[in-house]
Amino acid sequence: MKEREFNGAEPDTVPDDEQWRAIVSNDESCNGKFFYAVKTTGIFCRPSCKSKEPRRENVVLFDRTEQALAGGFRPCKRCKPTGETLPDAEWVTQMTSYIDRHYAEPITLQSLADQFHGSPYHLQRIFKKVQGATPVAYVQRTRAARAAELLSRTDRPIAQIGAEVGISSAPYFITLFKSVHGCTPAAYRRRFDRPHNEEEINHASARSDDLLG
């Protein structure tokens, strides 16, 4: 049977079986026939890119790099589908945006390297140069910031808040939170333990007067 010809992908289409095999096998012969983008990372690649295999349901195809760029995707740092190198600051912005959305999920230096198509060493060096902190430190700061928000406006148990921001160990969560905010989660929450309505305020004021009297 004659092998089916690639006719070029229409913008924003999903891969068929042959195109998917080309992506999974990093088939260099398909370079220039289509480009694939991964919706969860916002990055697009050549079929030959040796980055981590994406989930098929997250992949969309384009027949030209201009279409991928117009769709809001950015070129892969590893395979350089546009033939140009992505600026470091833009690459790091992609990573911080991803972390800001997925901070509650397990995130490691290796998983970021897999997602953003670079070696762990190179990724960490560039990230720290641009952000002034390592990727892991940025993840932890993001989790601590979200935890502070939850502590200030909810009555959820501290251990539950830790788990919600991606830290299942309560002792480690307390230690991390204190290193970022300078106090324990419980002490931070007490800053917001104020009467919430006029009746409570009046009641608290009356009690204060009784004690003084």
Q: Which of the listed CATH numbers 1.10.10.10, 3.30.420.40, 3.40.10.10, 1.10.1200.120 matches domain 7-84?
A: 3.40.10.10
Catalytic position from the list 45, 49, 76, 79: 45
1-10, 12-21, 25-34: range with highest mean pLDDT: 25-34
Ranges for all domains in the chain classified under CATH 1.10.10.60: 87-207
Looking at residues 96-119, what average pLDDT do you find? 91
**Mean pLDDT (the chain, rounded):** 84
SS3 state of residue 208:
helix
- Among candidate residues 8, 21, 9, 16, the one with its CA nearest the CA of residue 61: 9
Residue 12 binned pLDDT confidence (cut-offs 50, 70, 90): low
Which pLDDT does position 87 carry in this prediction? 81
Q: Which fold has domain 87-207?
A: Arc Repressor Mutant, subunit A (1.10.10)
The pLDDT tens digits for 25-66 are 999 899 888 999 999 888 899 999 988 888 999 999 998 999
The pLDDT tens digits for 175-197 are 999 999 999 999 999 998 754 44
Q: Are strands 74-75 and 35-38 parallel, antiparallel or unpaired?
A: unpaired
CB-hemisphere CA count at 13 Å for 130? 18
pLDDT of 210 > 90? The answer is: no
pLDDT of 9 > 80? The answer is: no
pTM reported for the whole predicted model: 0.62
Which pLDDT does position 194 carry in this prediction? 52
The pLDDT tens digits for 137-168 are 999 999 999 999 999 999 999 999 999 999 99
The pLDDT tens digits for 76-90 are 888 889 887 778 888
pLDDT of 73 > 70? The answer is: yes
Ranges for all domains in the chain classified under CATH 3.40.10.10: 7-84
CA–CA gap between residue 62 and residue 115 (Å, rounded): 20
pLDDT of 200 > 80? The answer is: no
Phi, psi dihedrals of residue 75, rounded to the nearest 5° = -65, 145
- DSSP assigned state of 200: H
Looking at residues 68-79, what average pLDDT do you find? 88
Which pLDDT does position 74 carry in this prediction? 86
The residue with greater pLDDT, 94 or 189, is 189
Question: Is 76 considered catalytic here?
Answer: no
